[in-house]
Chains A and B, each alone.
Chain A
């Protein structure tokens, strides 16, 4: 074998090179397809949104409430609706989510963790339709109506509670991951100085995990902003709504407005404005969540880099 070795012996067969190249090509194509989708989204949204903007008289965008059937497309109304509901949601999800996270990460024994973590996972797996029904059928009559003294079942508060339940597991799991990633040595240093668990958790672990926690909160906001079904069922606002940030009142969000436009409750087929307005709102929503997600990612990278 030794004396007659040439480069040609070490070339490998052309057939094998071809096969390997082909296989690689298949996987490249798969990756390319997944990117194609984002291109399609941006393209579809901007094309129709542009059609809306170019046709519409811009004054229509600052009108008296969102009433597409009457040609009133006050963007501020639906954005206010989205923010109100997301605000209510974050108000209840943040303390519950963070509380659960701190408990699971710093206090719970391994056995308790194994018992309690599945609760959060199950909560995370509940489809939003179900939570919408729950918000309308249970939360509205038992919590919102007594609190607000209203006779209508529909309110942004009820939807907000529903969305809050939806995003609590998200906050809890991201925050818990972030705190879990804080190295034991930091805790040991704190306990070694005689600090108790509460001080250690609040003053050492949480600050160290703050980037991860913030990332989780931003993700939750993004999820809340994009949430559709809970709002479509429980928030009311069918047919349109005036500008309001009162959680006791019904309201319209960007997402619910989109479903209303698509299913025909607000849509007048053949109306040249309603269909493209849908994409205009969609583009707004897409940009909002994109910005939130990108910022959240920056925070995630910061917390990963720290360790």
Chain B
């Protein structure tokens, strides 16, 4: 037998090995398992689709029929006339409070934690406190708002007013701002800071000229996502007295009166309408939900666009 013969005619051993390692055994179990897993994602997708379909189906007609009138009209017990205008106004006022109060304090706290604080027990305690605050249920912040901003500080805020509501939501959202800002600051590479210190810059100069510009896109994205979340917060507003029914502003009211007077927000309107049994209110609720979801989607899309745009720069 020559080597050529061996090459042409495989031996029994070769044959056995070839049979063992080639060909695919059909593993039904694995296929089922994978299908099951994929199924969970499909269920999630299905829920999303079903929710959107239902909401658009119910509310679409209202929006199409009444158009911008729906967005501007006041809350009313007559479904044909009711609109979400006051809610949008109230929600916007609340967002203003969030931006003015939560963002500077939250980002400032993050800068302290990441840039100035030494790694000791006190700092670790501070970090843990912030994390725990972020996990407190929203309704507890509502309680805080009720006790402090509505009752105790009634002179300043006017009781159940948009000031109290805005400050409550700002306080609720602040720990999240701290956490997202701190993450963005942590992502700044140490070499940038070292280089800054190396040419004799002070701590604040390094932060201002290098760390903050580098972290700004991340902080901005996080802030916008936080705003989008603040828009949908309902429970605390109910606790601090956002009007759930309807109200009318007195004509000729000045800014302070408006700030200290009754108000409502888009999510609380939805809450109220959702509880009404009449079929027309179902449609109205769905329409209001469309408005709310549209606003949130726009904010989220803005955040994603900004993040992509800035990521390309470096």
Contact = CB atoms under 8 A, between A and B. Distances in A.
A132 B203 CA distance: 49
A26 B108 contact: yes
Interface string B154-189: 000000000000000001001100100000000000
A129 to B, nearest CB: 5
Nearest to B293: A130
Contacts of B27: 196
Contact of B105 (A16, A30, A120, A196): A30
Q: Of residues A38, A45, A127, which shows the largest number of chain B Cβ atoms within 10 Å of its Cβ?
A: A127
B274 A133 contact: yes
SS of B interface (majority): helix
A278 B143 contact: yes
Interface string A122-138: 11011111111110111
| Chain A interface residue bracket vs B | 35 or more
Contacts of B147: 44-45, 47-48, 279
Q: Of residues B27, B115, B204, B235, which shows the largest number of chain A Cβ atoms within 10 Å of its Cβ?
A: B235
A255 B137 CA distance: 9
A227 interface: yes
A229 interface: yes
Nearest to A142: B50
A84 interface: no
A138 B239 contact: no
Contacts of A123: 44, 47-48
B140 A282 contact: yes
Interface stretch (A100-108, A184-192, A203-211, A242-250): A100-108
Nearest to A35: B129
B130 A119 contact: no
Given A38-B133, A127-B292, A27 B44 contact: no
A165 B48 CA distance: 10
A27 B143 contact: no
A181 interface: no
A116 B131 CA distance: 29
Given A30-B109, A34-B105, 6 more contacts: A31-B113, A41-B140, A125-B296, A131-B51, A259-B235, A282-B139
Closest 8 CB pairs of A and B: A226-B137, A127-B232, A30-B108, A99-B40, A27-B112, A103-B37, A228-B235, A44-B147
12 contacts: A16-B202, A29-B108, A30-B108, A31-B117, A41-B136, A119-B44, A127-B292, A131-B51, A232-B235, A232-B238, A258-B142, A297-B132
Interface of A: 16, 19-20, 23-24, 26-31, 33-35, 37-38, 40-41, 44-45, 47-48, 95-100, 102-104, 107, 116, 119-120, 122-123, 125-134, 136-138, 165, 168-169, 172, 196-198, 219, 222-223, 225-229, 232-233, 255, 258-259, 262-263, 278-279, 282, 285-286, 289-290, 293-294, 297
